[in-house]
Amino acid sequence: MIDVPKKWQMKQPEQPYDFIKQFPFATLVSQNFDASHLPLVLDSDKGEKGVLYGHFARSNHHWKEADKSPVLAIFNEPHAYISPTWYANKPAVPTWNYAVVHVEGRLNLLSSDATLACLEQMLLTFEPELTHNKSIIPDEYRDKLATAIVGFEIIIERIVGKQKLGQHRSPDDQRGVASQLKQSSRLQDQILYQYMKDINVGLGEC
């Protein structure tokens, strides 16, 4: 499991869950280092610690190896390079600021009916209006394509969040970094700044 110094812990127990809902694209790693990149939908009310849902392409051998096995899902966004020139205090070195959530759990494959329910939940999560627009996704077309995927659930056993956002540095250093990220033309800088603003961390305001 990821190393998380106390200064970079997510302070509230709901933060890792909120993070997954905001950044649902994950790297899913299982035994033998097989990995897949896919979106996962969270049901935080199910089970003791929540359940993640997703699906593999049936052509991806990963589903055969992962069934009933322990897996690690890594939600790795946002992140950005931090220049030492942005700090008020010197000397300093370059670094990389980021937030990430790791989820450990056990993966179980879903039945065909449960897989269709999983797809429905994904639509409700990402584009709910499509669930009512049968001209775009007719039931027959959906059911045909569903045969090309394999749905799964991950029973969450452990969830850990880390946010290395420069919050350990002086308020002046934090403000310097936040200002540069805000002004940057790089998309990843803007995403990181917005996340810092949303959770009020690393801005030098408290």
Domain assignment of residue 143, yes or no:
no
Domain assignment of residue 57, yes or no:
yes
Q: What's the average model confidence in pLDDT over 105-126?
A: 94
Number of helices (H), then strands (E), belonging to the chain: the values are: 6, 7
Domain assignment of residue 161, yes or no:
yes
Domain total of the chain = 1
| 38 CB neighbour count, 10 Å cutoff | 17
Q: What's the average model confidence in pLDDT over 188-192?
A: 98
> Which tokens in the block code for residue 203?
């801005």
Please tell me the predicted confidence (pLDDT) of residue 131: 83
SS3 107: strand
Percentage of the chain modeled with pLDDT above 70: 100
Please tell me the predicted confidence (pLDDT) of residue 132: 83
Domain assignment of residue 186, yes or no:
yes
Domain assignment of residue 120, yes or no:
no
Residues pairing with 105 in the sheet: 71, 156
Query: What are the Cα distances from residue 89, in Å, to 12, 148, 176, 189?
Result: 30, 56, 10, 21
Name 82's Cβ contacts closer than 8 Å, sequence gap at least 6.
94, 95, 96, 97, 166, 177
Question: What one-letter code names the amino acid at 175?
Answer: R
CATH number for the domain spanning 22: value is: 2.30.110.10
For the chain, the average pLDDT equals 95
Domain assignment of residue 137, yes or no:
no
Please tell me the predicted confidence (pLDDT) of residue 206: 63
For the segment 7-31, what is each residue's pLDDT rounded down to a tens digit? Answer: 999 989 999 999 999 999 999 999 8
| 120 CB neighbour count, 10 Å cutoff | 13
Structural domain harbouring 168 = 6-110+153-198
For the segment 50-109, what is each residue's pLDDT rounded down to a tens digit? Answer: 999 999 999 999 999 999 999 999 999 999 999 999 999 999 999 999 999 999 999 999
* pLDDT reading at 6 higher than 90: yes
Please tell me the predicted confidence (pLDDT) of residue 205: 84
Domain assignment of residue 118, yes or no:
no
The pTM is what? Answer: 0.94
d(CA 166, CA 174): 6
Where residue 142 falls among pLDDT bands split at 50, 70, 90?
Answer: confident
Render 12-79 in DSSP notation, one character per residue: STTHHHHHHHHS-EEEEE-GGG-EEEEE-EEETTSTTT-EEEEEEETT-THHHHHTTEEEEEEEEEEE
Where residue 130 falls among pLDDT bands split at 50, 70, 90?
Answer: confident
Domain assignment of residue 24, yes or no:
yes
